[in-house]
Structure 1
Amino acid sequence: MLKKLKFYAIGLIPGLLIVFFILNQKGTTCSYFPNDRVIAETLTKDFKYAPAFKTEMESNKISEKFLKDSMIAAGKIDFDRSKAQAKPCPQYLLLYPKDNPRFEVSYSKCKESAEFTGLKKIK
């Protein structure tokens, strides 16, 4: 029995290390929390901006790069105020930053694109 366990460990440990290093290099993430899933899906979509949203971005001096890389990536979805079950495009309200939010971003996430409709400065 001990001999079988040794053979099992000899194969398992190097196998786990190899898988860990391969997945780590590809930058894959395994997150099943609803907030992380919605944000990850949003970042894969084509971004479309409503004219009012573009105006608010300019008045608050927010670039598209900052919106994608910081606000959305580090934001938190307010599921209580979102319409995640809306058809055909769920509507979400994102708060940025997670702690002590200063901005609210409203958007719809469709199959092909994410359309940003509202940007509101809270404080």
Structure 2
Amino acid sequence: MKLIHRIGFYLGGFSIGLVFLFFFLNGKKVSCDYGPEARVKKNINTKLVTYAPEVKAKVFSGDLDSTTIKNLLLKGDVIFSKSHPRETPCGIYYMEGQLDSKTASLLVENCDSIATVKAFNWAQKIND
């Protein structure tokens, strides 16, 4: 069999396989969390999230909303240079993100079964 025929059969089978995958995985929430940032965020968001007393006081006083914290946990960026992931017994992660045209930062302590938000701060306002 000629090389061109082999390549043709390979590409034909490969394209049929892609079509099957497209139909089987269409509409399913399939994710590929292979990067370190994605794995950390997924790990934190699958656990029970609690707040430190300082953060809880901000939430109860109305200065902060718990959905703001949840959005930052989901969409924020993990800053590994300011984090201490190998701290014992729980790793500490620093996260930043933009919410309502302001920059916010979180300090999260990630233990085995629980994640605790230790600090929340608003940074400077971003110019339009």
TM-score higher than 0.5 here? yes
Matched, 1:7 2:22: no
* TM-aligned CA deviation for residue 24 of structure 1: 4.4
Match of 2:80 in 1: 79
TM-score, normalised to structure 1, is 0.80
* Structure ranking higher in strand proportion: 2
Tell me the SS of whatever aligns to 1:60: coil
Identical-residue share of aligned pairs (%): 26
More displaced, 23-32 or 48-57? 23-32
Q: CA deviation at 1:41?
A: 1.5
Counterparts in 2 of 1:31 and 1:24: CA distance versus 1, 3 Å: farther
1:36-93 residue CA offsets vs partner (Å, 9 max, x unmatched): 2211211111112222111123442312x3322x211111112111101112211011
* C-alpha distance in structure 2 between counterparts of 1:117 and 1:88, whole Å: 15
Q: Which residue of 1 aligns with 2:18?
A: 16
Q: State the distance in 2 between where 1:37 and 1:12 align.
A: 30
Following the alignment from structure 2 to structure 1, what is the Cα–Cα distance between the partners of residues 72 and 29? 20
Indicate the residue corresponding to 2:50 in structure 1. 48
1:62 equivalent in structure 2: 65
1:97 equivalenced with 2:104 (yes/no) = no
Aligned partner of 1:34 in structure 2 is: 36
Q: Which has the larger radius of gyration?
A: 2
Distance change (3 Å), C-alpha of 1:93 and 1:47: same
Once superposed, what is the RMSD of the aligned Cα atoms? 2.2
Deviation at 1:108, TM superposition (A): 0.9
Tell me how far apart the structure 1 counterparts of residues 102 and 82 of structure 2 sit (CA, whole Å).
15
Task: In structure 1, give the amino acid aligned to 2:43.
Answer: E
Structure 2 stretches of 5 or more lacking a match?
A: none
Contact kept, 8 Å, 2:102 with 2:122, in 1: the verdict is no
Question: How many Å separate the matches in 2 of 1:5 and 1:25?
Answer: 32
Amino acid at match of 1:75: G
